[in-house]
């Protein structure tokens, strides 16, 4: 087992139980976590710390209701570009990282170059985001699809059975 970032860490069934529990509720105390996974407090704490150091556990967050915070419109932004030079890629990366409403950016294979996920208050909010984005970086083709219904939205990864 590695004790430092970027070292190999062999995930075992106990680690998987810890990960599953933390994905359900990252705010649980180490005492409650150790009870849930049937491990001593110290051993549980050590495993969590090792998985954090190895980059397996990358952070802990509170999930919020975007609509209640005024971000009721979810939008998928589809981007095609004719630019692939390192300077353009850096400008694009800097642009999308600087816009907090954009919460997912994916470089794609196939017809699309990038898909962006964003949350905005409404269509006017999307237009403001779009104007900020194209002012920062040239894009060949941008289209947006507004989410009509969120059927499933989760950050939980399923357990891997080995």
pLDDT value at position 6?
52
Contacts of 92 (CB under 8 A, 6+ apart): 81, 83, 114, 137
pLDDT value at position 3?
45
What mean pLDDT do residues 59-70 have?
Answer: 93
Does 1 have pLDDT greater than 70? no
Quick one: pLDDT band at residue 9, thresholds 50, 70, 90? confident
Q: Is 94 exposed, middle or buried (0-12, 13-18, 19+ CB in 10 A)?
A: exposed
Does 23 have pLDDT greater than 50? yes
pLDDT value at position 161?
63
pLDDT value at position 2?
40
Structure tokens at 25: 């509720």
The residue with tokens 């990282």 is 97
What are the structural domains, with CATH classification, of the chain? 1-62 (1.10.10.10), 67-146 (3.30.70.920)
Q: What is the pLDDT of residues 80-123, one digit of tens each?
A: 998 889 999 999 999 999 999 999 999 999 999 999 999 999 99
Torsion of CA 53, 57, 61, 65, to 10 degrees: 160
Q: Which pTM value belongs to this model?
A: 0.81
Does 4 have pLDDT greater than 50? no
What mean pLDDT do residues 28-48 have?
Answer: 97
């Amino acid at each position: 087992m590695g004790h430092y970032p970027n070292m190999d860490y062999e995930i075992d069934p106990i680690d998987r139980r810890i990960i599953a529990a933390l994905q359900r509720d990252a705010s649980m105390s180490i005492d409650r976590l150790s009870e849930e996974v049937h491990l001593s407090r110290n051993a549980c704490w050590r495993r969590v710390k090792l998985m954090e150091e190895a980059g397996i556990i990358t952070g802990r967050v509170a999930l919020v209701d975007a609509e209640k915070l005024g971000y009721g419109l979810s939008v998928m932004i589809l981007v095609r570009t004719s630019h692939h030079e390192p300077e353009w890629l850096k400008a694009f990366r800097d642009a999308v990282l600087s816009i907090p409403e954009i919460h997912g950016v994916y470089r794609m294979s196939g017809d699309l170059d990038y898909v962006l996920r964003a949350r905005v208050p409404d269509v006017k909010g999307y237009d403001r985001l779009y104007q900020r984005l194209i002012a920062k970086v040239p894009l060949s083709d941008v289209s947006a699809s507004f989410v009509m219904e969120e059927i499933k939205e989760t950050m939980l990864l399923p357990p891997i059975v080995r």
